[in-house]
A and B are shown apart, each in its own frame.
Chain A
């Protein structure tokens, strides 16, 4: 589904954000990308959808190589849920926010309407359709941000810190929702417990490089490896 080979991403000031990163995500897999602050998790997500194109290496989604010519198609295949929903919800009400993507892709109003309601239903938030985005709670905003991405029916969902700013109940509800969503997911997160619960594979980034990769229990429960990568054991394993 997602294939990344030896990519290198540099910021305009010359700082290397990712160096020789290679990874592979199979269709239907849930993969967590973990790492300390500044390890390159968010940059990796932005590179996949071409917001920051790599200077070296290649990224392909479902066999389609990410380049400037096909970004529109790529961004339909891969939807990004940003860390802060306030960066993503900007229209006057929830309905228009969710309809923003389908309308940009020139779907008819009837098709857009169908997709909006389907996305709202998938997240169980139909009752919020007419509400103003800025008046929602943190958990509601997050669900609407996900619904807004689902409206384009992506094959790959890229989530940047999806559980940040959420209270425990909203976090738990969101993880349950992720479990029910039949999509390939790449989740950049600090929430190691979620990675342990939800994902089949974990990739550890350290200073822009892949430091370790494997099944969650092997990686996340390895105290030495976690410490070396600037992380700690999941909270559930500390008790």
Chain B
């Protein structure tokens, strides 16, 4: 709670990164969305024991981050939020699937362990792919392309509203927290017995704001759907990127380069 202000700042870091002008930033947003989705689908499609097949896919985030000049720290920081979920979802494999799959340097590795590492790697790769998309494409561009892809209007609107008002909500929580602490100097956090009224107050404020926001929308003719400008044109470079990357990803998916390299080097 003490770092709420940092949370507001962090919330907009990706947006600042998305304002870049590198070759990746300049690509058509639809192309970036399609390639990201393709990458995610291909990564997820690997068998849970096929760790070697996944390894070449690590190059995608590494190369894209270098080309887009995205610093590693803010993305890894966000990745840390997702990894614990994957960790707890996958750890049971280690205990229940103990059949030995391979020996490496005299150490035995079970199928369960490989499945566990594979799940962590898949989480890492897919979350990084989404974060890179968010760090190279503004939310208005993403929303616009989602609408173009016929994603239901209400979902696109929810994405825009959530993003826009998350900061406002955090700011209100911070204001309420400050008011609480100023009248309760012996505490550094909100006491459990006050938490109900704190969260209830925040919820009521959110309802009030939602009411006012909806009134403001109705005053400007809102009738349940809306459109966003789409002036981006798909250029030749976008087609090269889309077709080239699709081909590379498909080859990586169906040719196991790790095994091929190991066999070639006789490892």
A contacts, CB < 8 Å to B: 46, 49, 51, 71-72, 75-76, 79-80, 82, 84, 86-88, 90-93, 95-96, 99-101, 103-105, 109, 132-135, 148-149, 152
Contact = CB atoms under 8 A, between A and B. Distances in A.
A51 B221 contact: no
Contact of A75 (B12, B15, B167, B219): B219
B90 to A, nearest CB: 36
Given A96-B229, A103-B227, A132-B15, A46 B220 contact: no
Nearest to B231: A109
Nearest to B209: A87
B223 interface: yes
Interface in B107-149: 138-140, 143
B62 interface: no
B228 A96 contact: yes
Contacts of B139: 92
Given A91-B140, A92-B143, A96-B228, A86 B221 contact: no
B215 A46 contact: yes
Given A91-B164, A148-B220, 15 more contacts: A51-B218, A71-B218, A75-B219, A86-B168, A87-B209, A87-B212, A90-B164, A92-B160, A95-B229, A96-B228, A100-B217, A104-B220, A132-B15, A134-B168, A152-B221
Contacts of A79: 219-220
A103 B226 contact: yes
Interface of B: 12, 15, 138-140, 143, 160-161, 163-165, 167-168, 209, 212-213, 215-223, 226-229
B220 A75 contact: yes
Contacts of B138: 92-93
A134 B212 CA distance: 17
Nearest to B225: A104
Contact of B220 (A86, A87, A100): A100
Contacts of B222: 100, 104
Contacts of A84: 212
Contacts of B161: 90
B168 to A, nearest CB: 6
Nearest to B223: A104
B221 A72 contact: yes
A91 B216 CA distance: 13
B170 to A, nearest CB: 11
A1 to B, nearest CB: 18
Nearest to B165: A90
A96 B213 contact: no
Contact of A91 (B160, B168, B223): B160
Contacts of A86: 168, 209
B27 to A, nearest CB: 18
29 contacts: A46-B215, A51-B215, A75-B218, A79-B219, A82-B212, A86-B209, A87-B212, A87-B216, A88-B213, A90-B161, A90-B165, A90-B213, A91-B164, A92-B138, A92-B140, A92-B228, A93-B140, A95-B229, A100-B217, A101-B220, A103-B227, A104-B221, A105-B221, A109-B229, A134-B167, A148-B220, A149-B219, A149-B220, A152-B220
A42 to B, nearest CB: 10
Contacts of B213: 87-88, 90
Nearest to B215: A51
Contacts of B168: 86, 134
Nearest to A49: B219
Nearest to B230: A109
A95 B141 CA distance: 13
Contacts of A75: 218-221
A88 B140 CA distance: 17
A19 B209 CA distance: 26
A76 B12 contact: no
A41 to B, nearest CB: 15
Contacts of B140: 91-93, 96
B212 to A, nearest CB: 4
A157 to B, nearest CB: 12
A18 to B, nearest CB: 17
A96 B163 CA distance: 15
